[in-house]
Structure 1
Amino acid sequence: MLDLLDYEFMRLALAAAVITGLTAPAIGVFLVQRRLALLGDGIGHVALTGVAVGLLTGTAPILTAVVAAVAGAVVIEVMRAYARTSGDVALAMLFYGGIAGGVMIVNLAGESAAKLNSYLFGSIVTVTPADLRIIALLGGVVLLLTLTAAPQLFAVCQDPDHAQVSGVPVRLYSLLVAVLAAVTITVAMRTVGLLLVSALMIVPVAAAQQLTRSFRGTHLAAMAIGLFAAVGGVGLSFEVDTQPGPTIVMTALACFVVLALARGVVALTARGKTRRLESA
């Protein structure tokens, strides 16, 4: 594993993985709390349109993806709050419109399918120092806001009506969750890709729920698991020569399976002890 540090592109990849592994679960825990696990997929498809616009205009794709993803997040929150459209219908429109617009504009830009795949499934080993600076800046903003505003975000996600009565600006914080998710998706698109980023936002949270009962404990544990999956996935992909994005997601899924099985074993053992005490 130490051989990774001998290569500059792998050092950049590992740095990007650290940032992504921390930020994705940091906002993902709020999406799980709001039962919006698929929001990341919807916004990711919209971000693809932003990437395509960047390729067409010669602008940095990560910047145009941020603009498109944030715009998509705002639109879906407005539709959920004011329009007679349910959350799942709004997400479906983002899914289809985003992917169709992205593919169409990429074709107009004359780019190859390989170029598109690097954003769909990630291409962490091609991260440049300039990319890393943008990723670090955006990731730092997400981490700062999710950690400092965690009580308010939790209140809005757990019980919006009670939060509204308590004086919390629910619509503002709901919009903040969506916007932070959009920014996180653009941060992670070079690491795991737009089609897989939602998995890194959700799976570490599901794994952390096997370990802890409190929200704060789940939040911190999910970030730790996300960090392990991202860094471990990059290292594993280097050793076995696989694509980093899918390897990172499979590592996160493996963590979930191991923790879920361990929790099941502990629960069965506890039940067995209880029955033996009752029969004694």
Structure 2
Amino acid sequence: MSTILSYPFMVRALLGALLTGLIAPTIGIYIVQKRLSLLGDGLGHVAIAGVGVALLAGATPLPVAITVAILGAVLIEYLRQHQRASGDVGLAILFYGGLAGGVFLSGLAGAGGLTQYLFGSITTISDADLLMIVVLALCALVISIGLSDRLFAVATDEEYARTLGLPVRFYNYLTVVLAAVAISLSMRTVGLLLVSALMVVPIAAGRNLVTGFWLTMVVGMGIGVVAATGGVLGSYYWNAPPGALIVLIAIATFIVSLPIGAALTRRRRAGRALPVVVEVVPPPHEQERGEGHPHVHGGPECHHPTVRHGDHLDYVHDGHRHAMHGDHYDEH
């Protein structure tokens, strides 16, 4: 590990991967809850168009990609809210238009380095890129965690969120903007074509293992960090593409979580199915024989269980409950 850290580009790559692994699942949990899991792919394709614009203009790709991805996110949310096109149609437009536009513009620029943005490249993270990743990732984390209750309420049930007085439209736009930022920041490590998997798969694995919003987010963030940093380390030792390895680690974690989650679910169901325990009170040593009753409950030879019934004891005997009333027993 010390050898790896002696290379500045690996230090930048590991820091970028760490932040990517944190923010992608943190924002992805809202995307999954809104049933827009493919939104990441659509925004990734739009960011490719931003990279193409930057290559054609000779500008730094990361800020241009972030700007174009945010504009695309706002557009698709506008179309969804105003029902001028369904969410699926809007995503399809982002898919094909963004990808085709990015490839076309990069071809006009004569640049052959588009692949490193599509699938990630750990050697291309500069100091300026890392600074932007750190600042924007911290902002995204603070917003997505600080407003988690509101964002989750809107993602779960918009009508109920409106009854609570929440500005639903604003939070919907905020969610897709955060997703656009997270996707664009991940293009150096995971790649724009694969980053959506890092938003969705860790959250899906977390849902298999735990219940509840906060636990799912925390477990998803942990899986995201392990997958992202593990993919970067593996790419160094095995000379493998980092983005593909990151996604494969995340998917492997999801597969492992399936049987574990099934076992945990069975255990939780078994715990809920346990019978209610009835309070059993030790019988008194002596009790008078009831008239016409062949057995003395409470005596030394009595082994029948007792249950408390109001202010007295009932004795379970032959499928009935006997209660001492005066000088005799009543059957309940």
TM-score (norm 1): 0.94
Match of residue 98 from structure 2: 98
Q: Which has the higher helix share?
A: 1
Structure 2, unpaired ranges of 5+: 276-332
Q: How many residues align?
A: 275
Distance in 2 (CA, whole Å) between partners of 1:271 and 1:99 is 46
Letter in 2 for 1:75: L
Aligned to 1:86: 86
From 201, 206, 217, give the equivalent of 2:199: 201
SS in 2 for 1:195: coil
Cα displacement (A) at 1:268: 5.7
Q: CA deviation at 1:237?
A: 1.9
Taking the aligned partners of 2:272 and 2:31, their CA distance within structure 1 comes to 36
Match of 1:226 among 186, 210, 224: 224
- Partner SS, residue 111 of structure 2: coil
Q: Which moved more, 1:181-190 or 1:253-262?
A: 253-262
Q: Does 1:129 align with 2:127?
A: yes
SS, match of residue 209 in structure 1: helix
- Helix, strand or coil for the counterpart of 1:193? coil
On the 8 A contact 1:124/1:245 being kept in 2, the answer is: no
Instruction: Verify the 8 A CA contact 2:209 2:264 in the aligned structure 1.
Output: no
CA–CA separation in structure 2 for the residues paired with 1:59 and 1:97: 21
Q: What SS does structure 2 have at the residue aligned with 1:246?
A: helix
2:114 alignment partner, SS class: helix
- Name the aligned partner's letter for residue 29 of structure 1: I
C-alpha change, 1:271 and 1:153, in structure 2 (3 Å) is closer
- Aligned residue for 1:210, secondary structure, equals helix
C-alpha contact 2:27 2:178 (8 A) present in aligned 1: yes
Moved over 2 A (4+): 264-275
Q: Distance in 1 between matches of 2:237 and 2:248?
A: 15
Paired residue for 1:252, among 250, 275, 281?
Answer: 250
Tell me the distance in 2 between the aligned counterparts of 1:197 and 1:270. 33
Q: Which has the higher strand share?
A: 2
> TM-score, structure 2 length as denominator?
0.79
| Larger-Rg structure | 2
- The more displaced of 5-14 and 174-183 is 5-14
Q: Distance in 2 between matches of 1:173 and 1:270?
A: 35
Counterpart residue type for residue 70 of structure 2: V
RMSD: 1.9
- For 2:179, the equivalent position in structure 1 comes to 181
* Partners of 2:208 and 2:262 within 8 A in 1: no
Distance in 2 separating the partners of 1:260 and 1:71 = 37
Give the deviation of 1:35 after TM superposition. 0.3
The percentage of counterpart residues that share the same residue type is 48
Residue 126 of structure 1: how far off its partner (Å)? 2.0
1:28 is the counterpart of 2:41: no
Q: What is the 5 A alignment of 1:36-51?
A: 36-51=36-51
- Give the 3-state SS of the residue equivalent to 2:240 in structure 1: coil
In structure 1, distance between residues paired with 2:33 and 2:189: 25
